[in-house]
Amino acid sequence: MTSWKGTNVFVTGASGLLGAAMVEELLARGAHVTCLVRDWVPASRLVTEELIARCNVVRGELEDYDLLARALNEHEIETVFHLGAQTIVGTASRSPLSTFEANIRGTWLLLEACREMSKTVKRILVASSDKAYGVHEKLPYTEDAPLQGRFPYDVSKSCTDLISLSYHATYQLPVAVTRCGNLYGAGDSNWNRLIPGTIRSLVQGERPIIRSDGKFVRDYFYVRDAADAYLALAERMHEPKFHGQAFNFGTEEPKSVLEIVASLQKLCERADLAPVVQNQASHEIPKQYLDCAKARAWLAWKPKRTLESGLAETVNWYRQALRT
């Protein structure tokens, strides 16, 4: 691809953190965007920044095959970004059924609809996660590491990943899978997540809450860099060698929860507000971080921002948003 101008694109999960960033970037590049939206989320950047007014909107669920097939057909979709999922680990643990329905069944139904519309659908990018790898003693994860999720959310992403790659292996569907680190950035209103929750507490003069023991290690990945990574991969999907491939995307700067909180305290100038460490987290993987050498080699890709600069941009956005 040399240009997104005039390309018909379908984005699932468009009201989410990554979805809104993807829609924003696609619109800026001239794409015709159709969004799948289940719930109306007034706090989403899709709504607050009026991105939704510039898109076609399909209201419904991933679990509705007829709706998916109709949307792909009537809007003559060429590119699919499947970002829709139930993404909160705690929610998945409390109610695995809804998570499995959306993340697993929703994925195979969308892929089946894409197979039905294979004359028009030319590229499909599916959001898996570093959680799909599960617990491994050897880190960082490389793309050939086994997918062995154990807890409900992790299992849902392992299944999403495997189902997607099976549709290429069996039906030659032009699918690629992305496995990103923990996404953060402007517009995330899931306050139980570490970064937005910590920033809100610090800006409001409250001690931040850490659900775990603070020692969990993750690869934190700025959402605008994630959107760039998806587009870089999509733009190479006309090359068959990219079909059926998985790519890790992240900063390769693993940090503990306590280190992230300390960075945010410094950026917010609130070192006086010591975190409250609850040590109550369960069903989570202690250490996860990614090797992104494949993305660098195949796509000549690397994130534009360091973790420090991404966090600084995020803090500035929340400071403004929380004042209004």
**Alpha-helical runs (H) found in the chain:** 17-28, 45-48, 65-74, 89-94, 96-100, 106-116, 152-171, 194-203, 223-234, 257-268, 293-299, 307-323
> Distance (Å, rounded) from C-alpha 246 to C-alpha 217?
22
| Backbone φ and ψ of 23, nearest 5° | -60, -45
- Mean pLDDT, residues 150-171: 97
Tokens matching residue 3: 């240009």
| Backbone φ and ψ of 42, nearest 5° | -60, -30
Question: Tell me: the pLDDT tens digits for 233-291?
Answer: 999 999 999 999 999 999 999 999 999 999 999 999 999 999 999 998 888 899 999 99
Question: Tell me: the pLDDT tens digits for 174-219?
Answer: 999 999 999 999 999 899 899 999 999 999 999 999 999 999 999 9
In the chain, what are the domains?
8-181+221-250 (3.40.50.720)
Question: 130-134: long-range contacts at Cβ-Cβ below 8 A with a sequence spacing of 24 or more?
Answer: 130/179, 130/180, 130/181, 130/182, 130/219, 130/248, 130/250, 130/288, 130/289, 130/290, 131/89, 131/157, 131/285, 131/288, 132/157, 132/158, 132/160, 132/161, 132/179, 133/158, 133/179, 133/288, 134/158, 134/285
Per-position b or e across 14-46, b if 16+ CB within 10 A of its CB: bbbbbbbbbbbbbbeeebbbbbbbbeebeebbb
> Distance (Å, rounded) from C-alpha 164 to C-alpha 98?
20
Confidence at residue 76, expressed as pLDDT on a 0 to 100 scale = 98
Yes or no: say if 222 and 305 are a contact pair by the CB < 8 Å rule: yes
Q: Mean pLDDT in the chain?
A: 96
DSSP SS3 for 295: helix
- Mean pLDDT, residues 280-307: 94
> Distance (Å, rounded) from C-alpha 59 to C-alpha 40?
9
Confidence at residue 283, expressed as pLDDT on a 0 to 100 scale = 83
pLDDT at 60 > cutoff 90:
yes
Yes or no: say if 232 and 302 are a contact pair by the CB < 8 Å rule: no
Confidence at residue 324, expressed as pLDDT on a 0 to 100 scale = 65
- Does 153 participate in catalysis according to the annotation? yes
> Distance (Å, rounded) from C-alpha 175 to C-alpha 164?
7
Question: Tell me: the pLDDT tens digits for 1-49?
Answer: 779 999 999 999 999 999 999 999 999 999 999 999 999 999 999 999 9
Which residue among the candidates 133, 153, 184, 220 is catalytic per the annotation? 153
> Distance (Å, rounded) from C-alpha 232 to C-alpha 1?
10
